[in-house]
Amino acid sequence: MLARLDEALGGLDQPTMDGINTYFVSWAAREVGLKVALSGLGGDELFAGYKTFTDVPRMANLVRAAYFVPAALRGALSPLIKSLAGQKNSPDAARKAAAAWSQPDRLPNPYFYARALFPLGTLETLIEPRFRPSTINADGVTLDPTWLGWLERASDESRKMEPVAGIRGWRCGRIWPARFARYGFGEHGAFVGSARSTAGYTAGEFVSALPDETRRVPDQQKALLTESLGDLLPAEILGQRKRTFTLPWEQWLRGPLKGRLAASFAEPASALAAQLKPNALTTVGMIF
């Protein structure tokens, strides 16, 4: 994989956190002569399998509580919130919880605090955030919203839904078209995609219409799917914890790719360097 990494990165037309996985799956499928490979894309969104479905409601409770606390007191309590959140979560999740507590009105939906690549506060150490004015659309009347306006409009739509349905809407309606749909086709000729048959759509429509309590059970991932297959699969499979398809990036970046990463940080592309604060990329390395 490391030997083919430059080839994989060269095939990307936009930054992505997951496309490399699909690239190597497509390559492996092509190597064994497959033209199509059926994946599980969409299953976690449909059956609430991601940790996000638990994290976002908790983040929402934290944000609601923060509104009742004066800003100065929130700032003083932020280290405590970060410490408490870090007891059962990653350091990154703890930083995001502290940011949501300190600045509950900075983003229009708790989902953004949970899913942000850089928590609030960290972002300002990298760039100077700029907000473009709204522009007039081609019709000469309506406005093309800023990115923050777009988030606010989308958040208004999600508030009309139950939590699970709202989170699914964010992922399937907005993240999927921008990310997953773009790299679902493998560079090496194998298509890696989810079930797009009539049966797949019918099941998706049916499950999407169900209330939250039927799709999410505390401490049980994909509860509805597990229950529906309970008499078809062995208990040792049903009882397994969720296993993610994650490449060992941390080991690579701290090991064989460390030199290349340091060189890239030292001399970022000119278009990117113009947007960054001095030594911003070095700061990222120290934080993460």
- Are 43 and 207 a contacting pair, CB within 8 Å? no
The per-residue pLDDT for range 140-153, each reduced to its tens digit, is 777 776 777 777 77
Q: What is the C-alpha to C-alpha distance for residues 261 and 110, in angstroms, rounded to an integer?
A: 32
Q: How far is CA 274 from CA 205, 262, 264, in A?
A: 46, 18, 15
Q: How far is CA 74 from CA 83, 99, 116, 197, in A?
A: 14, 10, 21, 50
State the pLDDT confidence band at 192, using cuts at 50, 70 and 90.
very low
Specify the pTM: 0.72
User: Which has more confidence, 62 or 38?
Assistant: 62
DSSP string, 105-130: TSSSSHHHHHH-SS-TTTHHHHB---
What is residue 128's predicted lDDT score, i.e. its pLDDT? Answer: 75
